Amino acid sequence: MRVDLQALHTRHPAARREAPDALADLSVQIQTGEAVAVIGPSGAGKTSLLHALACALPPTAGQMLLDGQDPWRLSERARHALRGRLCLLPQTPPLPPRQRVVHAVLAGALPRWSLLYSLASLFYPRASDVQAAATALAAFDLADKLWERVDRLSGGERQRVGLARALLSQGSLWLVDEPLSALDPTRAQAALQLLVNQAQARGVTLVASLHHVELALAAFPRVIGLRAGRLLFDLPAAEVNDARLQALYAQHEQELHAPLPSPEPDPVAPVAMTCR
C-alpha cells in the first residue's frame, strides 16, 4: 500500500485545548513494499502516526492518502473495508487471558473471514488454519505454544504471539508499535528482521515505531525521526549519523542509549502453599 501524507496535522480527541498537535505539518511519502522505522523520544508522536495511518485518528488539517484514497472522504462502509487491508499491531497486544494461542494468532485473519467462519473457527478451527497459525508461531520460535493459554505466557512470548498475527493477515500495510519492549536483545533482533523480511517477501508496506535506535538502523533501510510531532529527518539508515540522533534526542539522551530488557522471564509458576 502506498502512503502519502501531505502537511498532516492531528490531535487526540481527549487532548487539552492548549496541548500542541500530536502530529504537525507532516509530509511523508512511502511506496508500496517499503519498510520504514519511526524513531524519536517519548511523546514524539510515533504511536499517533501509526494510529493516523490506521484510520483511527482523523487529520485536523492536511491530508492522508492510502493508495491514492482519502479514507476520511470515503463512506463508513468503504473506510471499514479499507481498514481490513491494514494490520495494526499495538505495543501490548489485546489478548484475552483465557484464550488459546492458536485463536490469538488466527485473529490476524479475522478481517478476511465472514462472521460465521470466524465463530466456527473458535470451536472447530480448520486443519489448514491451525497449520498456518503453527507456521507463524514457529517463525517466532513459539511452535510449542500453539494450544497454550495466553495467560500462561511470559510478556515476551505474548508480544511475539501478537507479531505472529501479522503473518496471518492479508493486510497490505503493517503498522507495528514498539514490537520489542518485552523481548531480550537476541529475540528482538530476530523478530524485527523476520518482520522486515516477511513484509518484503509479501510486498507489504511496513511502518514500525521503535525505541531501540541501533536495532532500527540495523534492520530498516529508511528511518524517520519525529520530535514533538514534527518531522526532523527522513533518511536512508546509513545517513542517520550521531549528530542527527543527538539533535533528535536532545534532553532525552537516556532514551537514545536505552538497553533492551534482560531475557524474558518465564511465566510465574503457581506457588504451592501448605498449612500445618
Interface residue list for ligand ATP (CB under 6 A): 12, 14-15, 22, 40, 42-48
As measured in angstroms, the least distance from the Cβ of 241 to ligand ATP is 21
Nearer to ligand ATP, 40 or 71 (CB): 40
Nearer to ligand ATP, 47 or 121 (CB): 47
Q: Where are the alpha helices (DSSP H) in the chain?
A: 46-53, 76-83, 101-106, 115-123, 127-139, 155-168, 185-202, 213-219, 242-248, 253-256
Nearer to ligand ATP, 15 or 138 (CB): 15
Nearer to ligand ATP, 107 or 231 (CB): 231
As measured in angstroms, the least distance from the Cβ of 58 to ligand ATP is 14
Spatial distance between the Cα atoms of 54 and 84, rounded to a whole number of angstroms? 10
As measured in angstroms, the least distance from the Cβ of 226 to ligand ATP is 7
SS (H, E, C) 122-166: HHCCCHHHHHHHHHHHHHCCCHHHCCCEHHHCCHHHHHHHHHHHH
Spatial distance between the Cα atoms of 153 and 146, rounded to a whole number of angstroms? 11
Task: Give one word for 198, left, alpha or beta, with left for phi > 0 and alpha for psi -120 to 50.
Answer: alpha
Helix (H, G, I), strand (E, B) or coil at 238: helix
As measured in angstroms, the least distance from the Cβ of 92 to ligand ATP is 11
Nearer to ligand ATP, 45 or 108 (CB): 45
As measured in angstroms, the least distance from the Cβ of 50 to ligand ATP is 8
Q: Regarding beta strands 3-10 and 86-89, do their DSSP bridges make them parallel or antiparallel, or are they unpaired?
A: unpaired
Is the distance from CB of 209 to CB of 38 less than 8 angstroms?
yes
As measured in angstroms, the least distance from the Cβ of 45 to ligand ATP is 4
Give CA separation, 254 vs 39, 41, 97, 152, 233, in Å. 14, 10, 34, 33, 20
Nearer to ligand ATP, 253 or 266 (CB): 253
235 phi and psi, to 5 degrees? Answer: -140, 160
Helix (H, G, I), strand (E, B) or coil at 256: helix
As measured in angstroms, the least distance from the Cβ of 77 to ligand ATP is 27
Spatial distance between the Cα atoms of 230 and 261, rounded to a whole number of angstroms? 28
Nearer to ligand ATP, 26 or 132 (CB): 26
